[in-house]
Amino acid sequence: MQGLSGSHPAEAGRGMWGYGLPSRLFNALRRGSALFVASLLIVGMSAAAEAAPIKILAFGDSLTAGFGLAPGEAYPVKLQAALKAKGYDVTVINAGVSGDTSADGLARLDWALQDHPDYALVELGANDMLRGLDPGDARTNLDKILSSFAAAKVKVLLIGMQSSKNWGAEYKQRFDRIYPDLAARYHVPLYPFFLDGVALDPKLNQPDMLHPTAAGVDVIVARTLPAVLGLLGAPSPVSPRS
């Protein structure tokens, strides 16, 4: 009687699988087991992907970056806290750069997309207006930014700005039309004016009367939150973490 080391190939199925199992059937079962394990791994990877936080890219200028504020007082930080309080598992990425025009934002967009966001809040144009730059150029830059987000399958909330009256009625009309026009063209939701309820209020602005205080950011978060919730839809159930 041969030992295990000298077993005939036809006897490979002996043991826990049953005495005398044909080798073809044994190998088929073995392959099936490997496929089963692989399927479990795929399911596990899918579950891990589903559990990953939603990424929201706050893509803007100093109003997004939090100029003059402590790190924990910037709009992206407070928006993330507000969304988490509503049951959303999110990470809001602060991609605001102080002083950026729409052209500057366009120039760094590819870099910002490396974060692979699911959503983007586009807040640019204030510095174009403050410098009196051609509204046509701002429109072109923002158009390209929205086109790039659309190509990357990133859902966008366009956040508008409004021109002051310093540059005249014609300039203001041309500038203020940029945001509703582009929102309609790309079929994206629009929050018309980022500083709504805050602009020109000395109690809610820093001494330059251009940048909100921490209290001003609270007002902006409260006012923009419904638009952001509309962009995200209902929150997915968050699994408890150990």
| DSSP element (H, E) containing 92 | strand 90-96
Phi-psi domain of 209 (left: phi exceeds 0; alpha: psi -120 through 50; beta: other): left
- The CA distances from residue 218 to 170, 188, 224, in Å, are 33, 24, 10
The one catalytic residue among 61, 62, 100, 163: 62
Q: What is the DSSP letter of 186?
A: H
- Does 208 participate in catalysis according to the annotation? yes
Residue of 61, 128, 176, 211 with catalytic role: 211
8, 116, 187, 208: the active-site residue: 208
Q: Is 211 in the active site?
A: yes
Based on the residue annotation, tell me whether 89 is a catalytic residue of this protein. no
Question: Residue 155 in contact with residue 231, Cβ under 8 Å?
Answer: yes
User: How many other CB atoms are there within 10 angstroms of residue 209's CB atom?
Assistant: 11
User: In degrees rounded to 5, what are phi and psi of residue 156?
Assistant: -120, 140
Residue with tokens 């159930």: 237
Residue 126 has, within 13 A of its CA and on its CB side, a CA count of 24
* The residue type at 46: S
Backbone φ and ψ for 54, nearest 5 degrees, come out as: -70, 135
Residues labelled catalytic: 62, 208, 211
